[in-house]
């Protein structure tokens, strides 16, 4: 298991040579921050329709656009289990009938990786950059992150904590799969909310969540919700967590931030063979330990 703590912008875990890990769906939070930088710069507004479609950027970021998800396809899961090469994006959309909306935008909620594929394409179109360069220039570098990149080939994942246990093709993650040290994931989330990459208004919009029901068995949420590229919900004790969980073949990651008054702490955890709930429990346990230490613990 890998974990890293950041409190008030300062790493709390010892510096060490740290192998990179796949960030799975925490990549969505980085993409959301990149997309919101476009809003900051006036290149698009949150409630503008995107890519000539009937849904807005806000609805895409919050999974309210009416789109389906390729995770619904049995043949997708079979292909991944068989270590097949990823389908092209066009083939995936054809198999999914991905252009057909499943509900009217804004009227429902359905987690959709396809929505974040469209966000990635929007970022490229509005910046006239590759997704790699846009994310580095607009999100990673301004927050002082290094050694974070998109995995493009199976060989890229051989350099991660999964090592040779995985023959997974990262192209199956159609919006892109970031890989990097777990400490960098914690730093990204902490600095996103502590520094001035985005205005306070945009950060508030990011954390304005659609409530998704009540407690989830095996997960820490009392009231789960989803904002703009982040899960934002309450846990026991009346605290709120903001961040993202992700999983892929053989591993899971959770990166969350908690605030108590003017103090904050962020924890990232990654574990091979773990479930989403298991890594969330690790994160919550470490964050609550800091809270129990009192204000001096921050």
Q: Where are the domains of the chain?
A: 2-297
Distance CA 176, CA 198 (A): 22
Distance CA 55, CA 43 (A): 17
Distance CA 140, CA 49 (A): 26
Q: Which of 84, 61, 38 is nearest to 198 (CA)?
A: 38
Contact 9, 266 (CB under 8 A): no
Distance CA 43, CA 221 (A): 35
Q: Does domain 2-297 have CATH number 3.40.710.10?
A: yes
Q: Which of 199, 194, 196, 152 is nearest to 177 (CA)?
A: 152
pLDDT of residue 297: 46
Helix (H, G, I), strand (E, B) or coil at 138: helix
- pLDDT by residue, tens only, the chain of 298 residues: 788 888 766 676 655 557 789 999 999 999 999 999 999 999 999 999 998 899 999 999 999 999 999 999 999 999 999 999 999 999 999 999 999 999 999 999 999 999 999 999 999 999 999 999 999 999 999 999 989 999 999 999 988 876 555 789 999 999 999 999 999 999 999 999 988 999 999 999 999 999 999 998 999 999 999 999 999 999 988 899 999 999 999 899 999 999 877 778 899 999 999 999 999 999 999 998 887 775 454 4
List CB contacts of 40: < 8 A, sequence separation 6 or more: 198, 199, 202
Distance CA 163, CA 19 (A): 10
Distance CA 154, CA 158 (A): 7
Contact 189, 29 (CB under 8 A): yes
CA distances for 80 relative to 28, 172, 260, angstroms: 21, 8, 41
Distance CA 239, CA 288 (A): 10
Note the helical H segments in the chain: 26-40, 57-61, 74-81, 89-96, 113-127, 131-135, 154-158, 182-194, 200-206, 276-292
**Residues of 266-295 as b/e, b for ≥16 C-beta within 10 angstroms?**
bbbbbbeebebbbbbbbbbebbbebbeeee
Give the predicted TM-score (pTM) of the model: 0.95
Distance CA 252, CA 246 (A): 6
Distance CA 104, CA 66 (A): 6
């Amino acid at each position: 298991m890998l974990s890293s703590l950041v409190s008030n912008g300062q790493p709390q875990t010892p510096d060490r040579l740290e192998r990179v890990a796949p960030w799975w769906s925490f990549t969505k939070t980085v993409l959301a921050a990149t997309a919101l930088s476009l809003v900051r710069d006036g290149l698009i507004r949150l409630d503008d329709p995107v890519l000539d479609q009937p849904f807005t950027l806000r609805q895409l970021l919050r999974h309210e656009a009416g789109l389906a998800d390729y995770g619904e396809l049995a043949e997708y899961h079979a292909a991944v289990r068989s270590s097949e090469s990823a389908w092209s994006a066009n083939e995936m959309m054809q198999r999914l009938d991905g252009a057909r909306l499943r509900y009217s935008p804004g009227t429902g909620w359905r987690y959709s990786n396809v929505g974040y594929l469209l966000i990635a394409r929007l970022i490229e179109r509005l910046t006239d950059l590759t997704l790699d360069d846009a994310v580095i220039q607009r999100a990673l570098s301004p927050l002082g992150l290094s050694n974070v990149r998109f995995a493009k080939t199976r060989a890229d994942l051989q350099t991660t904590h999964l090592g040779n246990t995985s023959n997974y093709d990262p192209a199956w993650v159609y919006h892109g799969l970031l890989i990097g040290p777990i400490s960098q994931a914690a730093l990204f989330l902490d600095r996103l909310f502590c520094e001035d990459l985005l205005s306070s208004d945009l950060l508030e919009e990011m954390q304005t969540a659609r409530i998704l029901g009540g407690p989830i068995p095996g997960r820490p949420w009392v009231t789960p919700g989803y904002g703009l590229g982040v899960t934002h919900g309450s846990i026991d004790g009346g605290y709120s967590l903001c961040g993202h969980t992700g999983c892929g073949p053989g591993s899971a990651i959770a990166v969350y931030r908690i605030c108590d008054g003017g103090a904050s702490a962020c924890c990232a955890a990654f574990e091979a063979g773990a479930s989403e709930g298991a890594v969330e429990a690790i994160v919550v346990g470490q964050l609550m330990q800091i809270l129990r230490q009192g204000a001096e613990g921050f």
